[in-house]
Amino acid sequence: MNILLLGYGKMGKTIEQILLERGHQIAARIDANNHAELTNLASDAVDVVIEFSSPESAAENITYCLERGWPVVCGTTGWLNRRADIEEFCKTRKGAFFYASNYSIGVNLFFRLNKVLAQFMRKYPSYHVSMTEIHHTEKKDAPSGTAITLAEGVMEQLASKRRWISNEAGHAPQPVGEDAIEIQSFREGAVPGTHTVRYDSDVDQIEISHVAHSRQGFALGAVVAAEWLVGREGIFGMDDLLGN
């Protein structure tokens, strides 16, 4: 397949390596430095787009690609206030759009484990739930999309939790009400991603964590999603790919 890489940072380069290993071709590598070249690509030059750009440019990138009839796999986070509009636009264009906050198979198993644990905790209101996420210093958004997905998973199971609160290290903390889940964000070195969900009581603590050792798991998942998406129509996510 001919694959357009929209975003060519560390993740884009890791994805490129996996694509070439799997026998695919790179239609173009587009980032902030050569974004104008995007309009030079012929519609038939691209089979699918893998979009890992920035929160500021993701929605416009996705819209443009859907207008051209290109299926889009997106892993950029921090732009989801426009997600509903993008998905509606995709439907009107009869296009294909695949979004995940995290493409790692392990993380998506962790998402499911998180929901199961939250379901168990319904009967034990003495436990207070909170989350911590740690990423590399180049990550622009906080909390991470993965942490937000985890918080949403808890809220699906615990009626007492209706929102999440972001508290980023180095910033003045926001108060956390009884109806909220606190997400603490830390940016350290070259950490690919560590996420922890914690239930505290006066007598003990229950904790589950996912620790990524490299970007390889995220990148491979995005490539598999791109291979799967070609020829489909609609809105998809990791549950569709993994066969929920």
Write a three-state SS string for 17-28: HHHHHCCCEEEE
Q: How many CB atoms lie within 10 A of CB 151?
A: 25
Residue 155, SS3? helix
> What is the Cα–Cα distance from 6 to 122, expressed in whole angstroms?
42
Which residue among the candidates 24, 135, 161, 195 is catalytic per the annotation?
A: 135
The three-point CA angle 217-84-38 to 5° equals: 65
Active site residue 135: yes
Is 7 assigned to a binding site?
no
What CA–CA distance (Å, rounded) separates 95 from 99? 13
Say what the pTM is: 0.79
29 is in an annotated binding site: yes
pLDDT tens, position by position, 81-113:
999 999 999 999 999 999 998 899 899 999 999
| Catalytic hit among 115, 123, 139, 171 | 139
pLDDT, tens digit (0-9, with 9 covering 90-100), for 148-196: 999 999 999 999 999 999 999 888 888 899 999 999 999 998 888 999 9
Q: Confirm or deny that 77 is annotated as ligand binding.
A: yes
Is 100 annotated in a binding site? The answer is yes
Is 195 in the active site? no
Domains of the chain: 2-103+216-242 (3.40.50.720), 105-211 (3.30.360.10)
Note the maximum CA span of the chain.
Answer: 63
d(CA 210, CA 217) in angstroms, rounded, equals 12
